[in-house]
Amino acid sequence: MPTTFTTPLMNLVLPTVGPSGQVGPTYATNLNVALERVDAHNHTSGNGQPLTQGAFNITGDLELNGNDLIEVAATLYESKALVTAQLSAVYVVGGNLYFNNSAGVAIQITAGSGINLTSLGTIGGDYSTSTASVIYTDATKLFLFKQSPTQTANLACGPIFIYENTVASNYTKIENPVGLAANRTITLPASFPGSTLPLKLSASGDMSISQIVTADITDANVTLAKMAAASVGTANIVDAAVTTVKILDANVTTAKIADGAVTPAKRAALGEQISASCGVFNLTSSSTSFSDITNLTVTITTTGRPIFVGLIPASTTGDPSSMTTVTGGSGSVLIRYLRGATALGKQALNGTFSAISGLSTIDVVAAGTYTYKAQTSNLTAFSSQRIFTDIKLIAFEL
């Protein structure tokens, strides 16, 4: 039986217990050497039993003296209630991973089951945890926003600046009006028209492409300044769609009407004014003063065109309409027309019987309301009898 044995972990040479064991000074020497090795052991290989997790009860910070923690399969963190002030620390608060930088700023790395994109200054919200995506395709130079793999996403933003695909180009800005009272939706037309037509916007925001009808035009809302020459073609206006109430008074001038475009059927009636019949007007006088012929007075409102003034038959039956003179000497009988108090000229009648068709005049005046009458007199003082039978006075614009 050997007098000593060697321990398996620290290789300590110890004396065998019993009568055959080691004795004397050698025993004491081996024992001292063994105890010194125990005193200096560090649990490395050959220096004691390697420690397991059950051997530790850490109650404070574990100092690694600036050394790396290597060959770690994973690190597990206890979720804290509040962020820590520790510099350069990695920890978990409320189930999310944080890192404190060297200035002590707490940076949240995760948000729920995804990366905390707000800390990166990129797209936020639940974009990263949904099926949404933002895709750029170099071939088409197009960004595509999608809410799912097969469906595009809505986009809410401020004013939109649209540029050409060039460097430093000018832009077109599309923006909402200031102080918009309520949300609104504008829906584009479903298709393009077969030809050029006006674009209309309904009260509900629906755009459509169709001809303009009367209901689309506010009463008296179309002014001459809004109708550029040749800008509205016949094909763009529904037949009979433009009514009188849609045209502002006095808003169609000569310049807006093509030469020869107004046919007789489109012109207003002459607006003729016809007096009552004079019956049988018999005047015997030798005076050169003019006398009114009974009933031969008319009033007419004109637009500025010349006025025809003349005599016509009162009826197509009975005695013929005429003027007969029976004179007591040589001389002529006069007839004239007055516009108000202004004489329009005199016409002389000779003989005993005269047709009335030649007794007329034309008065050139501005637009207005005028009263015309017929009068008769002698050219010189002599006795005569003037008989006007079934005659009427007529006045109308040419």
pLDDT tens digits for 286-337?
778 889 999 999 999 998 899 999 988 887 665 566 666 555 545 577 889 9
Q: Which of 393, 319, 392, 323 is nearest to 356 (CA)?
A: 323
Contacts of 46 (CB under 8 A, 6+ apart): 9, 10, 11
Within-domain flag for 191 = no
Task: Quickly state the pLDDT bin for 363 (edges 50, 70, 90).
Answer: very high
Give residue 29's pLDDT: 82
Give residue 41's pLDDT: 80
If asked whether residues 217 and 326 sit together in one domain, one would say: no
Sign of CA dihedral 101, 105, 111, 116: negative
Span 258-278, average pLDDT: 81
Least confident range of 171-175, 282-286, 375-379, 381-385: 381-385
If asked whether residues 90 and 129 sit together in one domain, one would say: yes
If asked whether residues 172 and 206 sit together in one domain, one would say: no
Within-domain flag for 235 = yes
If asked whether residues 343 and 227 sit together in one domain, one would say: no
Give residue 353's pLDDT: 54
Within-domain flag for 304 = yes
Within-domain flag for 290 = yes
344 with 370: CB under 8 angstroms? no
Give residue 266's pLDDT: 72
Look at residue 383 and tell me whether its pLDDT is greater than 70: no
Encoded tokens for 218: 């506010």
If asked whether residues 33 and 135 sit together in one domain, one would say: no
pTM, rounded to two decimals: 0.39
- Full residue range of the structural domain in which residue 33 is found: 4-39
Highest-confidence range of 20-29, 117-126, 196-205, 330-339, by mean pLDDT? 196-205
Q: Give the rounded percent of residues in the chain with a pLDDT score beyond 70.
A: 85
Say how far residue 287 (Cα) sits from the centre of its chain: 80
If asked whether residues 96 and 169 sit together in one domain, one would say: yes
Q: What is the rounded CA–CA span in Å between residue 112 and residue 75?
A: 19
Task: Quickly state the pLDDT bin for 30 (edges 50, 70, 90).
Answer: confident
Give residue 226's pLDDT: 67
Give residue 224's pLDDT: 64
For residue 214, report the phi and psi dihedrals to the nearest 5 degrees.
-55, -40
Within-domain flag for 241 = yes
Span 233-247, average pLDDT: 76
Within-domain flag for 18 = yes
Q: What is the rounded CA–CA span in Å between residue 72 and residue 323?
A: 138
If asked whether residues 377 and 293 sit together in one domain, one would say: yes
Q: What is the pLDDT of residues 69-101, one digit of tens each?
A: 899 999 999 999 999 998 999 999 999 999 999
Give residue 253's pLDDT: 82
Between 28 and 233, the more confident residue is: 28
Least confident range of 6-10, 336-340, 372-376: 6-10
Domain boundary residue, one of 216, 240, 266: 266
333-339 and 342-349: which strand pairing?
Answer: antiparallel
How many distinct structural domains can be found in the chain? Answer: 4
